[in-house]
Amino acid sequence: MINRLESSVQPSVDVPAPVLLARDKEGKRALLEGAAKFNQKPKEGLKFLEAKGIIYDDPTLPRPQSLAFFFKTCPRLDKKLLGEYISRPENLEVLKAFMTLFDFRGKLISDCLRELLETFRLPGESQQIARITEVFAAVYVAAGAHDVKTEDAAYVLSYSVIMLNTDQHNPQNRKKMTLEDYKRNLRGVNDGEDFSAEYLVSSF
């Protein structure tokens, strides 16, 4: 069973685009330069962005939320580096804040994962993937999970969708997972019950 997150998570909130944080020409130039620096060395890039007032500029906004807003709305960031950064243990609060910027209400878990993973690439380490999946599961359930009864069920289903995607797109894997294999792996996961066949078909 997965551990409960230390702090509660809430559904999506409105996000100010970075362009609103850098309205003048100089500010926009600083934004682009900061993103480029992040793509070389994330820590140096964030120091530069803070010095220029692009992030952490609102004293009433917690630092993790300010940084999450920037990550969510700046398209110039390297997706691989972003995934590695937010999945580190020391950046857990940023990861939580980042997840709450998505609107997962009433959506299939596979569709939510697809939307999420358009913004960053999953890191290669299993612990980092598990951390991302755990936070995602908590946010998804808090938003009103679609046919998923618990955070544990959401976690297992999310991880299975990720592994399914890896399986289907691995050219070296000659024996692809079938729908029946997928259903079998998820038996009894939904709080002791099976997910509906229709739900699993839509996720496959």
Which are the catalytic amino acids?
125
Tens digits of residue pLDDT in 58-90:
899 999 999 999 999 999 999 999 999 999 999
pLDDT of residue 2: 44
Q: Are 77 and 35 in contact (CB under 8 A)?
A: yes
What domains are defined for the chain? 18-99 (1.10.220.20), 109-203 (1.10.1000.11)
Which residues of the chain are under the pLDDT cut of 70?
1-23, 169-171, 173
Q: pLDDT value at position 22?
A: 45
Classified as helix, coil or strand, 190 is strand
CB-count exposure of residue 132 (10 Å: 0-12, 13-18, 19+): buried
pLDDT value for 100: 96
For the whole model, what pTM was predicted?
0.83
Per DSSP, helices labelled H in the chain are 18-21, 25-40, 42-51, 63-73, 79-86, 92-99, 109-116, 126-142, 151-168, 179-185, 197-203
